Amino acid sequence: MADAAAAAAVPGDAPGGTTVLDSLGEDITRIVYPVSACMLLVVLLVSLLSSPSSPSPLSASIAAATGGVSGGGDDDIPTALITALTFVVAVTAATFLLALLFYLRCTPCLRAYLGFSALAVLLVLGGQVALLLLSRLRFPLDAVSFALLLPNAAGALALAALAPASVPIALHQAALVAIAVLTAFWFTLLPEWTTWALLVAMAIYDLAAVLLPGGPLRVLLELAIQRNEEIPALVYEARPVDPRHGRNWRLWREGRQPGADLDDSSTVEVIGEVLGRNLQANSGNSSSSQVHEAATLAGDVSNSRPRVTLVAALSSSDSTVAQVGEVSALQEHRVAVAEMSVPLIQPRPQRSGEEVVEDEDGIGLSSSGAIKLGLGDFIFYSVLVGRAAMYDYMTVYACYLAIIAGLGITLLLLAFFRKALPALPVSIALGIVFYVLTRTLLEEFVVQCSTKLLMF
Amino acid sequence: MTLAAGLGYALIALGPAFSLFAGVVARKPFLVLTLLSSTLFWLISLIVLSGIWRGFLPIKSGAWWAYAILILTSVALQEGTRLVFWRLYKKMEEMLDAFADRISKPRLSLTDKMLISLAGGLGHGVAHAVFFCLSLLTPAFGRATFYIETCSKMPFFLASALIALGFLVIHTFSMIIAFNAYDERKKSDQVFVPVIHLAAAVMTLINLAPGGCLIGTPLLLVMAALTLQHCWRVACQRLTEHRHQQHNSN
């Protein structure tokens, strides 16, 4: 026994041996990849379709040299602040309304609302983006085919986004990312100061709504926990996309020996373990009599840690997923609910303001331990990066790194505090700081050096 | 420049980085996170540097000594960042080892440590290539290309892509050498890394002279090859030493 342990402890490069490094951090990368993909798509759309509002000197000079036209039009700060404030007030009101509906157990209303908004985004916004792309790329497509393809695609994607149990998970995740991309692209069309004011306002709102005791999202969350129900909303859950890795489909366990089957692919657990949080939990582990199974995907058994309770489906009529998390009486960590709904209303006064998209904010852990990130976070991250793309690509790279760093910090905090946290404030704050620093300090310096071919 | 040419230049600068990423780093998620964090570090050091130098820009084109001071300070700051990165890596290694012990899995092996330093170096190199080369490349799609006065024989983007490639190799592999040297406390290697970095950066000063880029760029690539060869030697040596140790203990 001793020498086996010693042999295992010697750092060897035996080809068959797996070390901790093999799967550590997998769940973080499974969130980072979709967020990066969403941001990349928005940057591509912005660079193809929008004319920059205030281009950087470099882009402006290049555009002037090749005969392009740089866009103009400035908006002032007071208007921006008023618009942002109106938007936040509208969002707060809508979230309270949602909380009220949830309280009155009006679930069909909520689901219908969700379906309608997803379909509206995909059909109307998606259609307009498609038309813009077609005209920009001069792609030959006739009106009849377009009229046939668009509603079909929109309907299929909306269904995929809303009913994850009936479609392959990759399609479900792709549909969610598509909705986020389209909404984010629309937000980047706002004037510049309005966009920044909106981002700051939403970050502050997110912070207040999730953490303050009277905040709408917190109210919603507590209702959901009390009732063991899931709020029907659009949330991205980082499940494994690749079914090859058998150990990622976690089977549900009866009890848990301390430290024995810690899943080292869950970074949140690792961090918690390292910080010593799991010790209290393991000592007071209750029996798992409260745990039931619930079917999540076709034929899969969803995982539940013994501290989390699952309850069966929300309503028998729909076939959608209804996993539920509940904190068991003895432990307080592993709160498994992070879904909140934040309807977004288009703030542009010229538009008729008819579209309301329902999505979510906040980051948390699902009952299977995978990280969940609300679609609202995807949207606002991409709005920041898209707006940075309208200036110059250097700001895009800097803001991308800042947002990913903010996401990492939020995940660390999540592992530390073990409850639902707002994902917007840290990333948006870092993103704005890096944008300002890049635009004022970095760009001059780097352009000076690299145009003289001076690098270090 | 046209789309094909632009893509070609981007691949010259970043092709090896892509293949390293796809072949080595993407297999282990932790390495992806290491890459992202080291890119962030490099960016922060660059922002600090530009903050320091912002008051002195724009530098008059005749004053090459100002550029020399700029390069000296930049290299000094970046080597300092490397040390800070190493300290953080040591803390991370302790935490990971403690975690591995707790779940009774083997600790970090030597290859793992080298992979982490590779990912760290690749992060630095990718950040360099992206900020110095790619950010100028992407707005310039369209008609015509760009030449600068001091380098009238090579398109500007080609020269910048080649230099970025050289520096990518230097950053990536000198990180492995540096981590190895800090670990084994080998003074010669610890000095080798900053010296190579400084030499390569000073070599780009040659580009300021008219026609200099035709000399400077190949020399830089020679330095990159030198770094690569040294790293190969260091890694082989360490691994064979390690295997001997293992055989002796078993």
Average pLDDT over residues A159-179: 88
CB within 8 Å: B109 and A13: yes
Span B230-247, pLDDT tens digits: 999 999 999 899 889 889
Tell which residue, A314, A361, A347, has the closest CA to residue A95: A361
Q: Does residue A354 surpass a pLDDT of 90?
A: no
Q: Does residue A364 surpass a pLDDT of 80?
A: no
3-state SS of chain A is CHHHHHHHHCCCCCCCCCCHHHCCCHHHHHHHHHHHHHHHHHHHHHHHHCCCCCCCHHHHHHHHHCCCCCCCCCCCHHHHHHHHHHHHHHHHHHHHHHHHHHHCCCHHHHHHHHHHHHHHHHHHHHHHHHHHHHHHHCCCCCHHHHHHHHHHHHHHHHHHHHCCCCCCHHHHHHHHHHHHHHHHHHHHCCCHHHHHHHHHHHHHHHHHHHHCCCCHHHHHHHHHHHHCCCCCCCEEECCCCCCCCHHHCCCCCCCCCCCCCCCCCCHHHHHHHHCCCHHHHHHCCCCCCCCCCCECCCCCECCCCCCECCCCCCCCCCCCCCCCCCECCCCCCCCCCCCCCEEEECCCCCCCCCCEEEECCCEEECCCCCEEEEHHHHHHHHHHHHHHHCCCHHHHHHHHHHHHHHHHHHHHHHHHHCCCECCHHHHHHHHHHHHHHHHHHHHHHHHHHHHCCCCC
* Type of residue at A191: P
CB within 8 Å: B163 and A262: no
Give the active site residues of A.
Answer: 206, 377
Q: Is A154 exposed, middle or buried (0-12, 13-18, 19+ CB in 10 A)?
A: buried
Confidence of residue A238 (pLDDT cuts 50, 70, 90): confident
Residues 65-104 of A with CB under 8 A from B: 65-66, 68
User: Which of B30, B143, B249 lies closest to A25 in CB terms?
Assistant: B30
Q: What percent of chain B has pLDDT over 90?
A: 47
Tokens encoding A389: 């793309």
Task: State the DSSP code for B103.
Answer: T
Tokens encoding B92: 């991370």
Sign for the pseudo-dihedral over CA of A182, A183, A184, A190 = positive
* Smallest Cα distance from A442 to chain B, Å: 5
- Residue B197: its pLDDT value, please? 92
User: Could you give the CA distance from residue A386 to residue A400 in angstroms, rounded to a whole number?
Assistant: 10
User: Could you give the CA distance from residue A309 to residue A305 in angstroms, rounded to a whole number?
Assistant: 8
Those residues whose C-beta lies under 8 Å from the C-beta of residue A143, and which sit 6 or more positions away, are: none
- Residue A97: its pLDDT value, please? 85
Closest chain B residue by Cα to residue A401:
B40
A436: contact with B, CB 8 A cutoff: no
Contact present, B79 and B72 (Cβ < 8 Å) = no
Q: Any idea of the CA torsion for B226, B228, B231, B237, to the nearest 10 degrees?
A: -90
Tokens encoding B208: 């300021």
Span A2-54, pLDDT tens digits: 444 333 333 444 444 577 777 778 888 889 999 999 999 999 999 888 765 55
A2 contact residues in B (CB cutoff 8 A): none
Q: Which residue has the higher pLDDT, B64 or B113?
A: B113
Span B126-179, pLDDT tens digits: 999 999 998 888 877 777 778 887 888 888 889 899 999 999 999 999 999 999
A401: contact with B, CB 8 A cutoff: yes
Tell which residue, B129, B131, B201, has the closest CA to residue B165: B129
Q: Does residue A431 surpass a pLDDT of 90?
A: yes
Confidence of residue A315 (pLDDT cuts 50, 70, 90): very low
CB atoms inside a 10 Å sphere around CB B179? 24
B63 contact residues in A (CB cutoff 8 A): none
The long-range contacts involving A221-226, CB below 8 angstroms and separated by at least 24 positions, are A221/A337, A221/A338, A221/A340, A221/A420, A223/A99, A223/A102, A223/A103, A224/A102, A224/A337, A224/A339, A225/A326, A225/A327, A225/A335, A225/A337
Q: Mean pLDDT highest for which of A247-261, B52-66, B186-200?
A: B186-200
3-class DSSP state of B27: coil
- Residue A76: its pLDDT value, please? 78
* Type of residue at B188: S
Confidence of residue B123 (pLDDT cuts 50, 70, 90): very high
- State the best of B32, B34, B50, B165 to mutate against chain A, taking most chain A CBs within 10 Å: B50
User: Could you give the CA distance from residue A375 to residue A363 in angstroms, rounded to a whole number?
Assistant: 10
CB within 8 Å: A454 and B47: no
Contact present, A62 and B140 (Cβ < 8 Å) = yes
- Residue A266: its pLDDT value, please? 58
Lowest-pLDDT range, A164-168, A264-268, A368-372, B217-221? A264-268
Lowest-pLDDT range, A196-200, A325-329, B76-80? A325-329
Q: What is the pTM of this model?
A: 0.78
Q: Which residue has the higher pLDDT, A294 or A456?
A: A456
Confidence of residue A202 (pLDDT cuts 50, 70, 90): very high
- Residue A189: its pLDDT value, please? 87
Q: Which residue has the higher pLDDT, B224 or A452?
A: B224
Lowest-pLDDT range, A78-92, A141-155, A254-268? A254-268
A415: contact with B, CB 8 A cutoff: no
A454 contact residues in B (CB cutoff 8 A): 67, 70-71, 204-205, 207-208
Q: Does residue A297 surpass a pLDDT of 50?
A: no
* Smallest Cα distance from A129 to chain B, Å: 22
User: Could you give the CA distance from residue B150 to residue B209 in angstroms, rounded to a whole number?
Assistant: 6
User: Which of A20, A29, A259 lies closest to B33 in CB terms?
Assistant: A29
3-class DSSP state of B199: helix
Q: Does residue B6 surpass a pLDDT of 50?
A: yes
Q: Does residue A248 surpass a pLDDT of 50?
A: no
First-to-final CA distance of chain B: 61
User: Could you give the CA distance from residue A207 to residue A422 in angstroms, rounded to a whole number?
Assistant: 6
CB within 8 Å: B163 and A453: yes
Specify the length of chain B in residues. Answer: 250
- Residue B174: its pLDDT value, please? 92
Those residues whose C-beta lies under 8 Å from the C-beta of residue A422, and which sit 6 or more positions away, are: A206, A207, A209, A210, A211, A361, A362, A363
Q: Does residue A399 surpass a pLDDT of 90?
A: yes
Torsion angles phi and psi, residue A336, rounded to 5? -105, 10
A44: contact with B, CB 8 A cutoff: no
User: Could you give the CA distance from residue A425 to residue A266 in angstroms, rounded to a whole number?
Assistant: 24
- Residue B96: its pLDDT value, please? 85
User: Which of B29, B128, B151 lies closest to A25 in CB terms?
Assistant: B29
- Residue A109: its pLDDT value, please? 85
User: Could you give the CA distance from residue B64 to residue B105 in angstroms, rounded to a whole number?
Assistant: 56
3-class DSSP state of B148: strand
User: Could you give the CA distance from residue B227 to residue B170 in angstroms, rounded to a whole number?
Assistant: 6
Confidence of residue A274 (pLDDT cuts 50, 70, 90): low
Contact present, B120 and B31 (Cβ < 8 Å) = no
- Residue A412: its pLDDT value, please? 86
Angle at A423 between CA A297 and CA A175, to 5 degrees: 40
Tokens encoding A29: 């990368």
Radius of gyration of chain A (CA): 24
Span A40-83, pLDDT tens digits: 999 999 988 876 555 555 555 555 555 444 343 446 788 888 88
Confidence of residue A287 (pLDDT cuts 50, 70, 90): very low
* Sequence-ordered alpha helix ranges (H) in B103-129: 110-129
Average pLDDT over residues B178-199: 90
- Residue B35: its pLDDT value, please? 94
User: Which of B30, B100, B167 lies closest to A455 in CB terms?
Assistant: B167
* Type of residue at A323: Q
User: Could you give the CA distance from residue B129 to residue B13 in angstroms, rounded to a whole number?
Assistant: 7
Q: Which residue has the higher pLDDT, A244 or A371?
A: A371
Average pLDDT over residues A370-390: 90
Contact present, B95 and B225 (Cβ < 8 Å) = no
Q: Does residue B22 surpass a pLDDT of 90?
A: yes
CB within 8 Å: A438 and B47: yes
* Type of residue at A230: E
Confidence of residue A190 (pLDDT cuts 50, 70, 90): confident
CB within 8 Å: A456 and B197: yes
Contact present, B250 and B188 (Cβ < 8 Å) = no
User: How many residue pairs from chains A and B have C-beta atoms closer than 8 A?
Assistant: 209
Average pLDDT over residues A336-365: 38
Write down the ipTM of this complex.
Answer: 0.92
* Smallest Cα distance from B106 to chain A, Å: 5
Those residues whose C-beta lies under 8 Å from the C-beta of residue B67, and which sit 6 or more positions away, are: A452, A454, B59, B205, B208
User: Could you give the CA distance from residue A275 to residue A358 in angstroms, rounded to a whole number?
Assistant: 36
Tokens encoding A31: 């969130």
User: Which of B99, B132, B205 lies closest to A446 in CB terms?
Assistant: B132
Task: Report cis status (omega within 30 of 0) of the bond before A168.
Answer: no
